[in-house]
A and B are shown apart, each in its own frame.
Chain A
Amino acid sequence: MSKYEYVPEPALVKGNHDFASITRLVTDVNLRPTPKGWYLAMIGANILLGVFLVAVGYLIWEGTGIWGLNNPVGWGWAIINFVWWVGIGHAGTLISAILFLFRQNWRTAINRFAEAMTIFAVICALVFPGIHVGRIWVIYWVFPIPNQMYMWPNFNSPLLWDVFAVSTYFTVSFLFWYVGLVPDLATLRDRAVDKIRKFTYGLFSLGWTGSNRHWWNYEKAYMILAGLATPLVLSVHTIVSFDFAVSVIPGWHTTIFPPYFVAGAIFSGFAMVLTLMIVARKIYGMKDIMTDDHMEKMNIIILVTGSMVGFAYAMEFFIAWYSGVEYEQAIFILRATGPYAWAYWIMMACNVLSPQFFWSKKLRTSVGFTFFISIVVNIGMWFERFVITVTSLATDYLPSSWDYYSPTIWDVLTYVGTFGIFFTFFLAFLRFLPMIAIAEVKMILPQADPHNYDETSKEYIAPKVELPKPQAQKV
């Protein structure tokens, strides 16, 4: 007997669930009458959405002068928020595509949820490149559309690559999410009793009947989309980092940016998934599917990516010294000691220090502590983008042009308002769509993998086939 004992993987779904009870657990949320709390939350989200619309309306009316941008700091909160939201969007595709290709079955509990978060976060991100242009009515100039001005996008510019990278990412993420939803929408269609739900879910389930051919096509499409989405996880934030790295500003012009940005994006994305998951699973009673084991696995990813980010911070300092470029050295010393040292040390504390607590098994399995850290991480990641964007510009080559940057109330309201967009979409998602990929969770239940023989006598036992009863009852 070896001194090592085999510890089986913990069950992916807790509780004594079968196929029918999983269906009920997830879809009852969509079919039962709307709870009051949901309306309250929706009103809150809509107020924030109103704030956003007012802030953007005033921006369009008055111009970008309402923001706190000044002469050396031409990029402010708009790009910080853009990068922050795109970064958050990374977890969804990582969970759905990369973990799918690596056959990580635990992803099924959270992939639908994380993909929805991805799509809504990318919408919030795309708002900023859309509104930051002074003349929003000519925003179509970013697209290569023939016109009498011979205006054509500048294909040398990383800002243009960004438009294509993020919109491709959005399209593929959306398709991936939707393809995964089709069988579950059909489940909802079959369970719905009222005409409107039957029609709407029926419309979007594209005539899914669950036939063998449908499943065959579904699996192929899902695999192809996972293959397409996988490089996108890496490429999108790589190209976002090019917005900075392709320029010649000290502190931006470094080759470490792409991997460092991607690690940071996954770091913040998982934190955001955790923040939302911990709340949602409690309110909707999904703890059997989104278990503490999932939380622990995600905390380990946060620990790994957080350490990568910390390593990148250290490497930036090292290369600044090792390169011998005095501007590069100056900017990094100024980051840690200059006018924005407060932001730098918030970033270091939140991004480098806070995930290190997850070395402790006790802490990474504690729900309350995880929730706290997940929020701290996203604060830290926002400050990371703040430090990168603002410090490099505010204290650039010419000390005579240095200036301190502070946001105006409109910067703040626009940012706060994007949470209105996000939560309006997210609450609608929780209410009307299955928040868990029902069909995929069923595939990882023990019932989906029957061994039709007796453990001791090794004799074949014919499986009992029970036709499931229709569940189109009112819930």
Chain B
Amino acid sequence: MAQIFPKWTNQVPRKLLIGLIVSVNVLILIVWYFFSPKYTDVGYAPTQPVPYSHKVHVDQLGLDCQYCHTSVFDSKQANVPATQTCMNCHNQILTDSDKLAPIRESWETGQPVEWVRVNNLADYAYFNHAAHVNVGVGCESCHGRVDKMEIVYQTEPLSMGWCLDCHREPEKFLRPVEEVTTMGYKAENQSQLGAELVEKNNVSPPEYCQGCHY
């Protein structure tokens, strides 16, 4: 009988099998790493209509988060401030700044400034700011050190796994409610304090699907 296949083909099935196993695993790893929000979303820093610097306003001037984001303790949303809030100061300070031209225009026309949203959750996930800050989840736990940001960027992946990291072990992250807006807060004994706060505020974050998806 004539030879149909050359000798090297003997090794082909074995190599194909090994290659298949390796490439399936590599594919899963690629999707797991490169398709995750940790890779795709963290560091998102869109250009805003006004180059507002949190670093200047919070770190140097000492504004509290709530001076602008007023509704965070009462509402689902931590609101973006209205132009009027900016103008409280800027009708007297830097009134000729080119950078602030859109603010003055908004002030005159009544059309709001179109800020670009940075931290954006999917619509199918229900999130409530008030529910979190009122039990002691600090602003910086999710938004990072905003006081050090020249331009605001996303610091956390906001993926479901990331949410669950805290929902499963809230005691590792909680702080007293009066410290919520503090930047760079460090507890002396987080595990003891966290356990006390969980006990005191009766914190039991949902881990079931319909806790956030409904």
Contact = CB atoms under 8 A, between A and B. Distances in A.
A151 B5 contact: no
A145 B25 CA distance: 10
Interface in A14-37: none
A199 B32 CA distance: 39
Contacts of B38: 148
A206 B13 contact: yes
Interface in A193-207: 198-199, 202-203, 206-207
Going nearest first, the 7 A-B pairs with the smallest beta carbon separation are: A148-B36, A149-B160, A150-B161, A148-B159, A202-B4, A148-B161, A150-B164
A206 B13 CA distance: 9
Contact of B4 (A147, A149, A189): A189
B41 to A, nearest CB: 10
Bin chain B's interface residue count.
Answer: 10 to 19
B37 interface: yes
Contacts of B5: 202-203, 207
B159 A149 contact: yes
Contacts of A189: 4
B209 to A, nearest CB: 10
A190 interface: yes
Given A206-B13, A207-B10, A147 B1 contact: no
A296 to B, nearest CB: 41
Contacts of B13: 206
A151 B36 CA distance: 13
B107 to A, nearest CB: 42
B4 A198 contact: yes
B4 A146 contact: no
Given A145-B28, A150-B161, 16 more contacts: A145-B31, A145-B32, A146-B28, A146-B32, A147-B32, A147-B36, A148-B36, A148-B38, A148-B157, A148-B159, A148-B161, A151-B160, A189-B4, A198-B4, A207-B9, A207-B10
B156 to A, nearest CB: 12
Bin chain A's interface residue count.
Answer: 10 to 19
In this complex, the member of A145, A146, A198, A206 whose beta carbon has the largest number of chain B beta carbons within 10 angstroms is: A146
Contacts of A145: 28, 31-32
Interface in B142-162: 157, 159-162
A206 B31 CA distance: 34
Interface of A: 145-151, 189-190, 198-199, 202-203, 206-207
In this complex, the member of B4, B5, B28 whose beta carbon has the largest number of chain A beta carbons within 10 angstroms is: B4
Interface in B1-17: 1, 4-5, 9-10, 13
Contacts of A148: 32, 36-38, 157, 159-162
Interface in B115-165: 157, 159-162, 164
Contacts of A207: 5, 9-10
Contact of B161 (A147, A190, A198): A147
In this complex, the member of A149, A151, A203 whose beta carbon has the largest number of chain B beta carbons within 10 angstroms is: A149
A30 B4 CA distance: 20
B90 to A, nearest CB: 41
A206 B37 CA distance: 45
Nearest to A205: B4
Contacts of B37: 148
10 contacts: A145-B28, A145-B31, A146-B32, A148-B32, A148-B36, A148-B162, A149-B160, A149-B161, A207-B9, A207-B10
Contacts of B9: 207
Contacts of B162: 148
A47 to B, nearest CB: 34
Contacts of A151: 160
B125 to A, nearest CB: 11
A433 B159 CA distance: 50
A443 to B, nearest CB: 23
A382 B28 CA distance: 39
Contacts of B36: 147-148
Interface string B35-58: 011100000000000000000000
A298 B7 CA distance: 46
B165 to A, nearest CB: 9
Nearest to B13: A206
Given A148-B160, A149-B160, A199 B1 contact: no
B4 A199 contact: yes
Nearest to B40: A148
Contacts of A147: 31-32, 36, 161
